[in-house]
Amino acid sequence: MIDVRDLIRYCDDLLEAARFADYAPNGLQVEGERPIQRLVSGVTASAALIEAAIAEQADAILVHHGWFWKSENPCLTGIKGRRARTLLRAGASLIAYHLPLDAHPELGNNATLGRRLDFIDMEPTALANGLVWVGCLAQPMTPEDFAAHVSQRLARPAQRVGRENGVIERVAWCTGGGQGYLEQAAGLGVDAFLSGELSEQTTHQARELDLCYLAAGHHATERYGIQALGEHLADRFGLWHRFVEIDNPA
Protein backbone atom coordinates (compact mmCIF):
# COMPACT_ATOMS: atom_id res chain seq x y z
CA MET A 1 0.00 0.00 0.00
CA ILE A 2 1.23 3.50 -0.84
CA ASP A 3 -0.09 7.02 -0.37
CA VAL A 4 -1.14 8.50 -3.69
CA ARG A 5 1.10 11.55 -3.22
CA ASP A 6 4.15 9.34 -2.71
CA LEU A 7 3.27 7.37 -5.84
CA ILE A 8 2.95 10.58 -7.86
CA ARG A 9 6.31 11.86 -6.67
CA TYR A 10 7.90 8.58 -7.72
CA CYS A 11 6.22 8.64 -11.17
CA ASP A 12 7.06 12.29 -11.76
CA ASP A 13 10.74 11.55 -11.14
CA LEU A 14 10.74 8.28 -13.08
CA LEU A 15 9.08 9.80 -16.16
CA GLU A 16 10.75 13.23 -15.88
CA ALA A 17 7.31 14.80 -16.15
CA ALA A 18 8.56 18.35 -15.60
CA ARG A 19 10.54 18.13 -18.85
CA PHE A 20 7.40 18.21 -20.99
CA ALA A 21 5.06 21.05 -21.99
CA ASP A 22 1.99 18.86 -22.39
CA TYR A 23 -1.60 19.24 -23.58
CA ALA A 24 -3.06 18.07 -20.26
CA PRO A 25 -1.86 17.86 -16.65
CA ASN A 26 0.40 14.93 -15.85
CA GLY A 27 0.20 13.16 -12.51
CA LEU A 28 -2.72 13.22 -10.09
CA GLN A 29 -5.82 14.51 -11.87
CA VAL A 30 -8.46 13.43 -9.33
CA GLU A 31 -7.55 12.64 -5.73
CA GLY A 32 -9.37 9.69 -4.20
CA GLU A 33 -10.23 8.85 -0.63
CA ARG A 34 -7.69 6.18 0.29
CA PRO A 35 -4.14 4.87 -0.15
CA ILE A 36 -3.41 2.69 -3.14
CA GLN A 37 -3.28 -1.08 -2.91
CA ARG A 38 -5.24 -2.03 -6.02
CA LEU A 39 -4.33 -0.36 -9.33
CA VAL A 40 -6.11 -0.63 -12.67
CA SER A 41 -4.46 0.73 -15.81
CA GLY A 42 -5.86 1.46 -19.25
CA VAL A 43 -5.26 3.67 -22.25
CA THR A 44 -8.07 6.21 -21.79
CA ALA A 45 -10.11 7.34 -18.77
CA SER A 46 -13.43 6.45 -20.39
CA ALA A 47 -16.64 5.47 -18.63
CA ALA A 48 -16.03 1.83 -19.55
CA LEU A 49 -12.58 1.84 -17.94
CA ILE A 50 -13.90 3.53 -14.79
CA GLU A 51 -16.68 0.95 -14.45
CA ALA A 52 -14.18 -1.88 -14.97
CA ALA A 53 -11.89 -0.40 -12.32
CA ILE A 54 -14.76 -0.12 -9.86
CA ALA A 55 -15.62 -3.77 -10.48
CA GLU A 56 -12.01 -4.60 -9.55
CA GLN A 57 -12.29 -2.44 -6.40
CA ALA A 58 -9.40 -0.31 -7.64
CA ASP A 59 -8.03 2.44 -5.43
CA ALA A 60 -6.57 4.24 -8.45
CA ILE A 61 -6.84 4.27 -12.22
CA LEU A 62 -3.65 4.86 -14.21
CA VAL A 63 -4.08 6.05 -17.82
CA HIS A 64 -2.25 7.56 -20.77
CA HIS A 65 -5.20 9.71 -21.89
CA GLY A 66 -6.66 11.45 -18.89
CA TRP A 67 -8.88 14.52 -18.52
CA PHE A 68 -8.62 18.32 -18.64
CA TRP A 69 -7.13 18.74 -22.14
CA LYS A 70 -6.23 22.31 -23.01
CA SER A 71 -8.36 22.29 -26.16
CA GLU A 72 -11.52 21.23 -24.30
CA ASN A 73 -14.13 23.04 -22.27
CA PRO A 74 -12.97 22.53 -18.66
CA CYS A 75 -16.50 22.26 -17.26
CA LEU A 76 -17.47 18.82 -15.94
CA THR A 77 -20.76 18.53 -17.78
CA GLY A 78 -22.30 15.93 -20.07
CA ILE A 79 -20.08 12.91 -20.65
CA LYS A 80 -17.26 14.37 -18.54
CA GLY A 81 -19.65 15.08 -15.68
CA ARG A 82 -20.98 11.52 -15.70
CA ARG A 83 -17.47 10.09 -15.72
CA ALA A 84 -16.39 12.34 -12.85
CA ARG A 85 -19.43 11.52 -10.71
CA THR A 86 -18.83 7.80 -11.15
CA LEU A 87 -15.17 8.14 -10.23
CA LEU A 88 -15.82 10.35 -7.21
CA ARG A 89 -18.57 8.11 -5.86
CA ALA A 90 -16.09 5.22 -5.98
CA GLY A 91 -13.48 7.23 -4.07
CA ALA A 92 -10.73 6.23 -6.52
CA SER A 93 -7.88 8.42 -7.77
CA LEU A 94 -7.20 9.18 -11.42
CA ILE A 95 -3.55 9.34 -12.49
CA ALA A 96 -2.49 10.23 -16.03
CA TYR A 97 0.82 10.53 -17.88
CA HIS A 98 0.80 11.58 -21.51
CA LEU A 99 3.98 12.78 -23.27
CA PRO A 100 6.27 11.67 -20.41
CA LEU A 101 5.01 8.13 -20.92
CA ASP A 102 5.44 8.32 -24.69
CA ALA A 103 9.09 9.23 -24.30
CA HIS A 104 10.39 7.04 -21.45
CA PRO A 105 13.33 4.94 -22.74
CA GLU A 106 12.21 1.69 -21.10
CA LEU A 107 8.54 1.89 -20.09
CA GLY A 108 7.35 4.38 -22.70
CA ASN A 109 4.95 3.83 -25.57
CA ASN A 110 7.63 4.17 -28.23
CA ALA A 111 10.04 1.82 -26.49
CA THR A 112 7.41 -0.83 -25.74
CA LEU A 113 5.91 -0.61 -29.24
CA GLY A 114 9.35 -1.08 -30.79
CA ARG A 115 9.90 -4.20 -28.71
CA ARG A 116 6.42 -5.47 -29.59
CA LEU A 117 7.25 -5.11 -33.29
CA ASP A 118 10.65 -6.80 -32.93
CA PHE A 119 12.64 -3.72 -33.99
CA ILE A 120 16.37 -3.73 -33.26
CA ASP A 121 18.96 -0.99 -32.66
CA MET A 122 16.22 1.27 -31.28
CA GLU A 123 16.89 4.76 -29.96
CA PRO A 124 15.08 8.06 -29.51
CA THR A 125 15.95 10.95 -31.82
CA ALA A 126 16.21 14.66 -31.08
CA LEU A 127 12.90 15.28 -32.83
CA ALA A 128 9.96 16.44 -30.72
CA ASN A 129 11.76 16.16 -27.39
CA GLY A 130 12.57 12.50 -27.98
CA LEU A 131 9.09 11.45 -29.12
CA VAL A 132 10.27 10.17 -32.52
CA TRP A 133 12.30 6.95 -32.41
CA VAL A 134 14.36 5.09 -35.01
CA GLY A 135 15.36 1.46 -35.38
CA CYS A 136 15.76 -1.36 -37.85
CA LEU A 137 13.82 -4.43 -38.83
CA ALA A 138 15.40 -7.71 -37.85
CA GLN A 139 15.08 -8.68 -41.51
CA PRO A 140 14.29 -6.45 -44.52
CA MET A 141 10.67 -6.59 -45.69
CA THR A 142 8.63 -5.28 -48.57
CA PRO A 143 6.16 -2.51 -47.67
CA GLU A 144 3.33 -5.03 -47.98
CA ASP A 145 5.03 -7.53 -45.68
CA PHE A 146 5.92 -4.83 -43.18
CA ALA A 147 2.27 -3.77 -42.98
CA ALA A 148 1.24 -7.41 -42.51
CA HIS A 149 3.81 -7.86 -39.74
CA VAL A 150 2.59 -4.78 -37.85
CA SER A 151 -1.04 -5.82 -38.31
CA GLN A 152 -0.34 -9.28 -36.95
CA ARG A 153 1.66 -8.08 -33.94
CA LEU A 154 -0.92 -5.46 -32.97
CA ALA A 155 -3.99 -7.54 -33.88
CA ARG A 156 -5.34 -4.64 -35.91
CA PRO A 157 -5.17 -3.94 -39.68
CA ALA A 158 -2.63 -1.21 -40.40
CA GLN A 159 -3.31 1.29 -43.18
CA ARG A 160 -0.43 1.68 -45.63
CA VAL A 161 0.22 4.61 -47.99
CA GLY A 162 3.22 5.91 -49.89
CA ARG A 163 6.02 3.69 -51.16
CA GLU A 164 4.81 0.51 -52.83
CA ASN A 165 8.05 -1.17 -53.88
CA GLY A 166 11.57 -1.81 -52.63
CA VAL A 167 12.49 -2.99 -49.14
CA ILE A 168 12.02 -1.60 -45.65
CA GLU A 169 15.05 -1.79 -43.38
CA ARG A 170 15.25 1.39 -41.28
CA VAL A 171 12.10 2.66 -39.56
CA ALA A 172 11.03 5.71 -37.56
CA TRP A 173 7.94 5.82 -35.37
CA CYS A 174 5.92 7.93 -32.96
CA THR A 175 2.92 6.38 -31.26
CA GLY A 176 -0.56 7.87 -31.21
CA GLY A 177 -1.17 10.98 -33.30
CA GLY A 178 2.38 11.43 -34.58
CA GLN A 179 1.66 11.60 -38.31
CA GLY A 180 2.61 15.29 -38.32
CA TYR A 181 6.26 14.29 -37.90
CA LEU A 182 6.35 12.41 -41.21
CA GLU A 183 8.37 14.97 -43.16
CA GLN A 184 10.85 15.43 -40.32
CA ALA A 185 11.20 11.66 -39.98
CA ALA A 186 12.02 11.39 -43.68
CA GLY A 187 15.10 13.49 -42.98
CA LEU A 188 16.42 10.71 -40.77
CA GLY A 189 17.07 8.52 -43.80
CA VAL A 190 14.43 5.93 -42.98
CA ASP A 191 12.42 3.76 -45.36
CA ALA A 192 9.19 3.87 -43.35
CA PHE A 193 7.43 5.88 -40.68
CA LEU A 194 4.81 4.41 -38.36
CA SER A 195 2.28 6.16 -36.16
CA GLY A 196 -1.32 5.74 -35.08
CA GLU A 197 -3.38 7.94 -37.36
CA LEU A 198 -3.76 8.87 -41.02
CA SER A 199 -4.57 12.50 -41.84
CA GLU A 200 -5.69 13.69 -45.28
CA GLN A 201 -2.34 15.27 -46.07
CA THR A 202 -0.36 12.26 -44.83
CA THR A 203 -1.04 10.27 -47.99
CA HIS A 204 0.30 13.02 -50.26
CA GLN A 205 3.36 13.60 -48.09
CA ALA A 206 4.25 9.90 -48.02
CA ARG A 207 3.92 9.61 -51.79
CA GLU A 208 5.96 12.72 -52.49
CA LEU A 209 8.67 11.67 -50.04
CA ASP A 210 8.67 8.10 -51.43
CA LEU A 211 8.27 6.84 -47.86
CA CYS A 212 6.15 3.96 -46.61
CA TYR A 213 3.74 5.24 -43.96
CA LEU A 214 1.73 2.96 -41.67
CA ALA A 215 -1.20 4.10 -39.55
CA ALA A 216 -1.50 1.30 -37.00
CA GLY A 217 -4.12 2.85 -34.69
CA HIS A 218 -3.81 5.52 -32.01
CA HIS A 219 -5.10 3.18 -29.33
CA ALA A 220 -3.29 0.11 -30.64
CA THR A 221 0.11 1.81 -30.68
CA GLU A 222 -0.34 3.17 -27.13
CA ARG A 223 -1.49 0.08 -25.25
CA TYR A 224 1.89 -1.12 -24.10
CA GLY A 225 3.47 1.77 -22.22
CA ILE A 226 0.71 2.11 -19.65
CA GLN A 227 0.78 -1.65 -19.07
CA ALA A 228 4.54 -1.51 -18.52
CA LEU A 229 4.22 1.41 -16.09
CA GLY A 230 1.46 -0.32 -14.14
CA GLU A 231 3.48 -3.52 -13.90
CA HIS A 232 6.55 -1.57 -12.82
CA LEU A 233 4.64 0.19 -10.03
CA ALA A 234 3.09 -3.08 -8.89
CA ASP A 235 6.52 -4.69 -8.62
CA ARG A 236 8.13 -1.66 -7.00
CA PHE A 237 5.49 -1.10 -4.32
CA GLY A 238 3.84 -4.50 -3.92
CA LEU A 239 0.54 -3.45 -5.47
CA TRP A 240 -2.15 -5.53 -7.12
CA HIS A 241 -2.39 -4.44 -10.77
CA ARG A 242 -4.51 -5.26 -13.79
CA PHE A 243 -4.49 -3.70 -17.27
CA VAL A 244 -7.98 -3.40 -18.76
CA GLU A 245 -8.25 -3.36 -22.53
CA ILE A 246 -11.20 -1.28 -23.75
CA ASP A 247 -11.38 -2.04 -27.46
CA ASN A 248 -11.01 0.97 -29.73
CA PRO A 249 -10.47 0.60 -33.49
CA ALA A 250 -9.30 4.21 -33.87
Q: List average pLDDT for each run of 10 residues in the chain, which is 250 residues long.
A: 97 97 97 98 98 98 97 94 98 98 98 98 95 97 98 97 97 98 96 97 97 98 98 98 96
Q: What is the pLDDT of residue 40?
A: 98
- Supply the pLDDT for residue 86: 98
What domain count does the chain have? 2
User: What local confidence, expressed as pLDDT, does residue 93 receive?
Assistant: 98
- Does 104 belong to an annotated binding site? no
Phi first, then psi: what are they for 122, rounded to 5°? -85, 145
| 178, 119: one domain | yes
CATH code for position 74: 3.40.1390.30
Residue 238, phi then psi, degrees to nearest 5: 70, 40
Is 98 known as a binding-site position?
no
- In the sheet that holds 27-30, the strands lie side by side as 27-30, 93-96, 60-65, 38-44, 240-243
Q: Is 102 annotated as a binding residue?
A: yes
Please give the pLDDT value at position 96: 98
Answer yes or no: do 199 and 238 share one domain: no
Q: Would residue 248 count as lying in a domain? A: no
Residue 170: inside a domain? yes
Residue 65 is assigned to a ligand binding site? yes
Count CB atoms within 10 A of the CB of residue 138.
12
The whole-model pTM stands at 0.96
Q: Domain limits at 97?
A: 4-101+222-243
Query: Do 75 and 10 lie in a common domain?
Result: yes
Q: What gap in Å lies between CA 131 and CA 7, rounded to an integer?
A: 24
